[in-house]
Every structure is written in structure tokens, then in C-alpha cells.
Structure 1
């Protein structure tokens, strides 16, 4: 991994090269969407380590705290197919009160062509009482957020009014993360699994917006619901707890 520091805007970017294995591609030779999100999540964890142990996953865990992602906005230049190696870059954009912001870019490392850019927002959460920490107050030395003209906009998502299809899943041990909650990437996988197989094979992802609302635990069942908008080539998704009805995650996806 390589760290780049830009003197003009004080941006600190962490970069990593990742080969793509056969197990990380689907039946259409595209990189699995879960792989791309897992790569971004892993690089975010490595990046925050460079800002000091007190901000790292291990450092926060010792104080009963944890990082939780709240929103994603991902825009694909072209969905990656037959790509052998990718280059990931991430930059912590700093915090604004309770929210920390982070950007990503992924490139085809052979051609140099950009695959996607993404924006994300994160909370630090007390793992015992689920309260959200005011990052600016509790960590006064943490970088402060400054908006840029080229920033992606994190979208507000609304719940589904009606549904065209749904699937039920049970939370597995393999779905759990270090905070003993379902890994955020699993919600995205659940959402897209509700799509019709032929529709998914025939289309490429163009944009993905995700809003994580609540967590779910081992052994619980969830319902993944989808609503198609064929005119605008888009789908809306809702993940909810089957037993309680609580909304867990909202997504909107567009295609080409």
C-alpha cells in the first residue's frame, strides 16, 4: 500500500493494488459487486489506521465503540469485466459533527481506466447503547470536512410503496463482522439477489445508492424486496427484518 499527500489541499490518499481471482468474478466475467464493496471497506479500515490508533477499529473497540457506514453513493464509469488487477484509492474527507466522510476511486490497473468513484458517510457508535458519538467533540484533532465542487452527493432514499418481488434470507455466521453485526456488504448482496436472473445478466450497474438504517443479528430472518422501474432502467430495494418489520437498509440502483 502507498500513501500520497497533496500539499495543495492537504489530501491524504491511501492506494492499494489488488489482483482479481477467478472466485471474485461472476458467470459473465464481471467482478462481483460484493468484492468491490469489500475492497473499499477493507481499504477504509487500513486508511483510518494511518490517522492514529485511537481512530482505528481496534482502538475504538477497546473503548466500546465502532465505525458504522451509513450511506454510499457509487457511480460506475464502466462496470468491470475481464479485469485482472485493480487499483483502489481512498481519502478520508474528515468529519462534520457526528458524520465522517470518505471518498473512493477504483481503476483498471492495466489500462489505467477508471472503473468507479464513490462517496460514503460513517458514524462512530457506542456498541452497548447504540448512541452516535459526536466525532468533532470527542476527537477534536480529527480532520474537519471541507466541501469540494466535484463531490458526489449522497442521496436521500425513501421506502418502497409497492413491491414486484421478494426473497427471504437467514443471517449466517459467515455474514457477521467484528462488531458482531451483519457486514454491510451482505445487505447489498441480499438486495441484488431479489432481482430476476435474466434482468441481472442483461444489465450492468451504473449507480448504487445505499442507506443503512438498522442492524440485524445472527439467526434472524430478513426479507429482501425489489421494485422495478423499467422506463428509467432502475430498481429500488428494501431490506427489512421479517419478525419485527423494521427497515434495515434502502437501496436504489440504475443500469445501462
Structure 2
């Protein structure tokens, strides 16, 4: 059956994936977006199940999610996803998140790279099925949120948390799971903060891979407009040398 450029998938906000306020955790929403991306690419012949036996995989490079509201527990919701553009080593994929009644909840944008799982280096996306991804690019479907920004850290950033990564942090690609970074960043803010603030926009850029056993250090600073920027570094447990692995930005609005 011929596949469309845009696909729409149904998800459920499971109650144990929701926070104290009865709304879906941002991390679990991120997982649903990544699942939608995998479903979409698999159905069109360039998904993980095709790539992995060929020593290739997709890795997330950038992600931004901007929400007007989050699904509540037991709510059905939908994620539409499509490829907006593709270059040799990177592709841009967008998302539209809607409620069961059709009203929009929010949007997402992401950038993915295809890498060789043995060399861990970028590999040619267009080598898969003679550039089949080009058949599914839609540049015109609306995604009315800003693209991921360049997150610049200043001199005011302070160390706020350090943790050693463990089993549950490591994903199918053998490195720290993309969504685990999001969860760890959002844990920098106490529960009481979320009682009075709504996470309007979250973005993260992945710079390097971290692996199980690495120690992650989180640095945070507040910007003039009230947003928070976060820098994450890694180091071996027995080494003081830090290497940057990701940068994030969280934009809250008062409830």
C-alpha cells in the first residue's frame, strides 16, 4: 500500500505516565513523539528495524516541544509527523499534537542524524533505498513554532546537580536515552515550581554521546526573559575532565 507523506498515530495518556496534576509528563510526551517518528519511518522503509541489521541507526540531534496544554490521564491524543527536509547527514521532522476532539495541543520540531553504529560517524541518508526519504518530504504542512535555537550559555551558569547514569538511562543505541536527558533537566525544578508554572516550551540539543556509568553534571542559568538554560557535561567516574554532551532550554509561564 502506498504511504502518505504525513502520518497520524493515536496514543493514550496512561495514568502512571502522568504527574501529580493528572497531566502527561513532558518526558513521556517526548517518547510518544519519538515512537511516532519510528512508526512513520518504518512504514516507509527507512526505520530502525531496517537500519540496525545494516549497522546504521537514527540518533536525535535536536528537539523542541511547544505546548498550549498537556493531555490528561486516560485521554486519547494524536501525533502527526512528517519530514520537512532532508540533507545528506541530517533530516528535519515535525510533529503536531492534537486532542481526541481535534483541537491542537502543541507542536514539535526535531533534527535527526543517521550514523554508522560501528564507527559512530554520520552516514549518507540518501544511500537508503536510493534516497527514498525524498518521496516523503512535505515542506508546506504547517508547524507554527520556532525552530530549535542556538542555546548560548553565559558566565552566570551554576552547577546545580550531578548524577551517575545507570541501567535505566541507556537505550537501544547503547547511549544515554534522549528522553532521559529531558527528565533529568526537568527534575532540576521542584514540584512546587510546577504547581505555579506551566512548561510552555522545551528544547534540547545533543552535542555528544554519553554512556552508562558516566557522571552527568548540570549547569543552569536564568535568562532576562525568565527562561532557563541548561548545560550538561559528562565525565568518567574516576576522571575530572568534563565534556559537553547537551544543552537545553526551558520556558515556563505562570499558571
User: Which TM-score applies when normalising by structure 1?
Assistant: 0.86
**In 1, are the aligned partners of 2:197 and 2:252 still within 8 Å (CA)?**
yes
List aligned pairs for 1:190-201, cutoff 5 A: 190-201=184-195
Show the counterpart of 2:123. 133
SS of residue in 2 equivalent to 1:62: helix
Deviates more, 1:154-163 or 1:173-182: 154-163
Deviates more, 1:83-92 or 1:203-212: 83-92
User: Could you report, residue by residue, the CA deviation over 1:161-185 in whole angstroms, capped at 9, with x for unpaired residues?
Assistant: 3224511122121121111111100
List aligned pairs for 1:60-139, cutoff 5 A: 60-81=51-72, 84-109=75-100, 111-136=101-126
Shift in Å at residue 138 of structure 1?
A: 5.7
List aligned pairs for 1:1-256, cutoff 5 A: 5=4, 12-52=5-45, 55-81=46-72, 84-109=75-100, 111-136=101-126, 140-144=130-134, 147-148=139-140, 150-151=142-143, 152-229=146-223, 231-243=224-236, 244-256=241-253
**In 2, are the aligned partners of 1:191 and 1:238 still within 8 Å (CA)?**
no
User: What stretches of structure 1 of length at least 5 have no aligned partner?
Assistant: 6-11
Shift in Å at residue 94 of structure 1?
A: 4.3
User: Could you report, residue by residue, the CA deviation over 1:94-138 in whole angstroms, capped at 9, with x for unpaired residues?
Assistant: 4122111111111121x3221111111100011222211132356
**In 1, are the aligned partners of 2:80 and 2:96 still within 8 Å (CA)?**
yes
SS of residue in 1 equivalent to 2:33: helix
CA distance in 2, matches of 1:4, 1:142: 12
User: Could you report, residue by residue, the CA deviation over 1:173-217 in whole angstroms, capped at 9, with x for unpaired residues?
Assistant: 112111111110001111111224332332111112210111111
**In 1, are the aligned partners of 2:13 and 2:73 still within 8 Å (CA)?**
no
Shift in Å at residue 250 of structure 1?
A: 0.5
CA distance in 2, matches of 1:146, 1:107: 19
Please tell me the root mean square deviation across aligned C-alpha atoms, in Å.
2.2
CA distance in 2, matches of 1:98, 1:71: 14
SS of residue in 2 equivalent to 1:103: strand
Shift in Å at residue 81 of structure 1?
A: 4.4
CA distance in 2, matches of 1:20, 1:233: 29
Number of aligned residue pairs = 244
Shift in Å at residue 73 of structure 1?
A: 2.2
User: What stretches of structure 2 of length at least 5 have no aligned partner?
Assistant: none
